[in-house]
Structure 1
Amino acid sequence: MYEAGGHKCENDCIYIKHYSALQLRQIARVDPIKSPISRALFGYTNPMQNPRKNTKRMDLVKIEGLSLQALIGVYEFERHAKQRVIVDLVMHTDFSKAGATDDVTYTIDYGKVAERLGELADKCEFKLLEALGAQMSDMIFKEFAPEKIELTLSKPDIIDNADNVAITLIRERKS
Structure 2
Amino acid sequence: MRLDRIEAPAPARPGLAVPAAAPAEPCEDTIFLRGVRVEALIGVYEHERHAPQPLVIDLELGLQHARCCASDDLRDAVDYGQVLAAVRRLAQVNRAVLLEAFAQNVADALLAGFELSSVAISVSKPAIFDAADSVGVSIRRRREALAGA
TM-score interval for Structure 1 and Structure 2 normalised by the shorter chain: 0.7 to 0.9
Q: Percent identity?
A: 30
Matched to 2:29, the amino acid is: D
In the alignment, the residues of structure 2 paired with residue 149 and residue 61 of structure 1 have an alpha-carbon distance, to the nearest angstrom, of 10
Provide the rounded CA distance (Å) in 2 between the counterparts of 1:95 and 1:107. 11
Structure 1 segments of 4+ aligned residues over 3 angstroms from their partners: 23-26
Task: Mark the CA change 1:28 to 1:137 in structure 2 (over 3 Å): closer, same or farther.
Answer: farther
List gaps (5 residues or longer) in structure 1: 1-16, 33-45
Give unpaired runs (5+ residues) of structure 2.
1-6
CA positional deviation for 1:26: 4.5
Q: Which of 106, 119, 129 is the aligned partner of 1:136?
A: 106
Question: Secondary structure at 1:27's aligned position in 2?
Answer: coil
**What code does the residue aligned with 1:31 have?**
A
Q: Distance in 2 between matches of 1:28 and 1:64?
A: 56
| Mapped contact 2:26–2:65 kept (Cα < 8 A) | no
CA distance in 2, matches of 1:114, 1:28: 59
CA RMSD of aligned residues (A): 2.0
Match of 1:117 among 87, 97, 103: 87
Higher fraction of helix = 1
Give the secondary structure class of the aligned counterpart of 2:85.
helix
Give the whole-Å Cα distance in 2 for the aligned partners of 1:105 and 1:95. Answer: 15
2-side partners of 1:28 and 1:167: how far apart? 59
Q: State the TM-score, normalized to the length of structure 1.
A: 0.72
* Mapping of residues 67-106 of structure 1, within 5 Å: 67-106=37-76
The higher-RCO structure (CA 8 Å, 6+ apart) is 2
Q: Is the 8 A contact 1:94 1:107 kept in 2?
A: no
CA distance, structure 1, for counterparts of residue 95 and residue 52 of structure 2: 9
State the partner residue of 2:16: 30
Hey, what's the Cα distance between the residues in 2 that align with 1:82 and 1:28?
73
TM-score, structure 2 as length reference: 0.84
Distance 1:172 1:116 in 2: 19
